[in-house]
Structure 1
Amino acid sequence: MKRRHSKVGIVFRFAGAITMLFLFSGLAFSLAYWLTRWFYSHHEVALPEYLLQLVNWALGILILILLAGTVNLVTVPKQRKVWIEMMDALKLMAKGNFNIMLDRDKKYHGQIGEFVQSINDMAHELKQVELLRQEFISNVSHEIQSPLTSIRGFASTLQREGLSPEEQRHYLSIIEKETTRLSKISDNLLKLTTLESEHQQLDLKRYRLDTQLESIVLACEPQWLEKELELELELEETTVEANEEMISQVFVNLLHNAIKFTQVGGSIKIAIHHSPNEVTVMIADSGIGISKEDQLRIFERFYKGDKQRTRTADGSGLGLSIVQKIVELHHGAIKVDSQLNKGSSFEVTLPLP
């Protein structure tokens, strides 16, 4: 559609240029005709007819050149001013200043106006990217600072004299837990960066999705048995074409979250539903739920939601971002439906081969 509009714009600009050329030519040659007619009426000129016509044409061309020169003198300073403004704007953007807005009064039109608007759009997009970068750095710093503070504090405590072996083991276990947390943040950041790379290649193969889900449930058995959770499985035989390791990470993350945020004695349901061209995997729990506000941002990096959810576990807020990115790389979709204190349901839809 944009290409079509561009072609139409070129045609209109070309037609406008031809029209202006005809108007100026007509004006120039008409003026030349009246000037020579006036001159011939006051002076006797003994020249052949073809020479008189040649003089008319020469005078018309001269007037046309003078008109073009006059228009150029009027418009060139304005165009030079526009180019200077655009070059200054580009220099500021090169230095990292994206607070730029050219042509606030919409006084430029045509190709120059389109170019000016493109610079404004580029500055706006770069500003958004810069804001995201600053937010990302702030979030990473915050996430890393918490475990580092704990490690530094308990390492200092271990240097005190008179600590019993039990106290030493307790403080060392906390330090070990915090270093594991740091390592997990680092691993997740690396995974997310890799997934967002334009050169990410998917090693696709056909495999049984229902068998994969059964294996994940069995691997998580100690966690859901510890909380006395009831698991219900509705797994139809399903073959998909995907990266098995990546898709496994998706469902491991979703199942761990379901176990983590479901109270003791609750329930979790995992089901597979088919449609002609795609398959949907639903993982639903009877846990604490997610507020409507948090559902809008739950897939953002480092977003942890309300305190009711975050106080139950030490997450980094990167898991669901990784899940969403993996699903998108497989041309699928993920959505959440939840109510506070009634549970959550995540649905992952993947295309069928």
Structure 2
Amino acid sequence: MKKKLFSQLWIYFAAITFLMMFVVLSVFVGLLFMINHYQLLTPEREGHLFPFYFIIFLSLVIGAALSFFVGKRILQPIGNLRQAMSKVSKGDFTVQLDEQQQMEDVEELYHDFNVMVKELNSIETLRNDFVSTVSHEFKTPIATIKGYVQLLQNDSLSKEERQNYLERMLDGTQQLTHLTDNILKLSKLENQGLGLDFQNFRLDEQIRQVILFLQPKWEQLNLTLDLDLPRTNYFGNEEFLYQVWLNLMDNAIKYSQKDSSIHVHLSNEEDGQIITISDEGIGMSNEVASRIFDKFYQSDTSRKTKGNGLGLALAKQIVELHHGTIKVNSSPNKGSNFKIYLPNRLKTS
């Protein structure tokens, strides 16, 4: 809709100013006419001050009427908005203004205010959830490390027990490091955005490096890897894309059944690359699949599985910064299939 040149508020103020000027001018013109025509100011004439009293009374009535109009139609909506904004500034994000107003501009202003408050409420809820989840994620390994430190103070521990406690403390510190790294990477992506450094590299070799890096994990479960990785050159951010394959492969291994298989296929299409990573693990429901890329979301609320709910959120953000997409198709007890599409990007000079 074409934006109006003059808003209703401007028209109201202009009309009131013009009306007041017109009234004042009319009163003075009328006063001069009456004085000249009826010679009202002659001392000999009885009641010669009555016209002045009438004019003063009339001016007060007109002024009161105009003040009521201005207050009712213009100043009161502004006052209501000021009170509502004061409540919001104190942390009350439940405030909503009545959008049914006589003036269209005030109605639009109230509507925009209501939308803003709803968005602030959503952000505040997200912030509270974020703080709560991060606090929980940090508290668990810290409490574990503290507990083992106390146990290590026992001089009667055997060498094997002491070594076991030290390894568990190391696991706790690695969990904290992993959580911190993911939070910092997410923050870097959100702030850096499309300013990432892109370069040419071998995409197939990068995925192989990730698989070799995770070899101790998949060998421990005796997993079979079905690989189809043709030679592929890609122009993108090598550092962050490595994190995508690392998170996806780590998840595939973590949720796979022993002696099962993981399939990793890379397909070179005309407009981009398609990478699929499939496992034969526990899978997930549609409800879990719809939220799997949310920050800090973990389907295992008991937290028996390692992780902090940031890996897939990080992977999705990296893929989207490459203008690609990542999708998951999964069913309980039938495994999961992650499909990543990375469009080709022309190298710019």
Deviations 1:66-101 (A, max 9, x none): xx9898445311211111111122222233322210
1:254 equivalent to 2:248? Answer yes
> What is the alpha-carbon distance in structure 2 between the residues aligned to residue 70 and residue 349 of structure 1?
70
Q: Which residue of 1 aligns with 2:326?
A: 334
> What is the alpha-carbon distance in structure 2 between the residues aligned to residue 198 and residue 211 of structure 1?
26
Q: Which residue of 2 aligns with 1:189?
A: 183
Q: Secondary structure at 1:257's aligned position in 2?
A: helix
Q: Percent sequence identity over matched residues?
A: 37
Counterpart pick for 1:80 among 55, 75, 79: 75
> What is the alpha-carbon distance in structure 1 between the residues aligned to residue 150 and residue 214 of structure 2?
36
- The Cα of 1:243 is off from its aligned counterpart by 0.2
1:131 equivalent to 2:120? Answer no
- The Cα of 1:262 is off from its aligned counterpart by 0.9
Q: Which residue of 2 aligns with 1:265?
A: 259
* Amino acid in structure 2 at the alignment position of 1:329: L
* Amino acid in structure 2 at the alignment position of 1:221: Q
Counterpart pick for 2:89 among 90, 94, 110: 94
Contact 2:282-2:335 within 8 A present in 1 as well: yes
With normalisation by structure 2, the TM-score equals 0.78
* Amino acid in structure 1 at the alignment position of 2:315: V
Deviations 1:162-199 (A, max 9, x none): 22222222222222211221122112111111111156
Q: Secondary structure at 2:276's aligned position in 1?
A: strand
Q: Which residue of 2 aligns with 1:111?
A: 105
**Distance change >3 Å, CA 13–CA 186, structure 1 → 2:** closer
Q: Which residue of 1 aligns with 2:306?
A: 314
Deviations 1:281-327 (A, max 9, x none): 1101111111221111111121111369x53x311111111111111
> What is the alpha-carbon distance in structure 2 between the residues aligned to residue 13 and residue 257 of structure 1?
57
1:229 equivalent to 2:217? Answer no
Deviations 1:127-171 (A, max 9, x none): 110000000000011111111221222222222342222222222
* Amino acid in structure 1 at the alignment position of 2:118: H
What's the Cα RMSD here? 3.1
Contact 2:93-2:117 within 8 A present in 1 as well: yes
**Distance change >3 Å, CA 345–CA 199, structure 1 → 2:** closer
Contact 1:210-1:236 within 8 A present in 2 as well: yes
Contact 2:223-2:260 within 8 A present in 1 as well: yes
Q: Which residue of 2 aligns with 1:157?
A: 151
> What is the alpha-carbon distance in structure 2 between the residues aligned to residue 186 and residue 315 of structure 1?
12
Contact 2:202-2:232 within 8 A present in 1 as well: yes
Q: Which residue of 1 aligns with 2:344?
A: 352
Contact 1:102-1:116 within 8 A present in 2 as well: yes
Q: Which residue of 1 aligns with 2:233?
A: 239
- The Cα of 1:247 is off from its aligned counterpart by 0.7
**Structure 1 residues not aligned, in runs of 5+:** 33-67
Contact 1:278-1:349 within 8 A present in 2 as well: yes
Contact 1:287-1:344 within 8 A present in 2 as well: yes
- The Cα of 1:240 is off from its aligned counterpart by 2.3
Q: Which residue of 1 aligns with 2:35?
A: none
**Structure 2 residues not aligned, in runs of 5+:** 27-61
> What is the alpha-carbon distance in structure 1 between the residues aligned to residue 178 and residue 301 of structure 2?
21
- The Cα of 1:9 is off from its aligned counterpart by 4.2
- The Cα of 1:279 is off from its aligned counterpart by 2.0
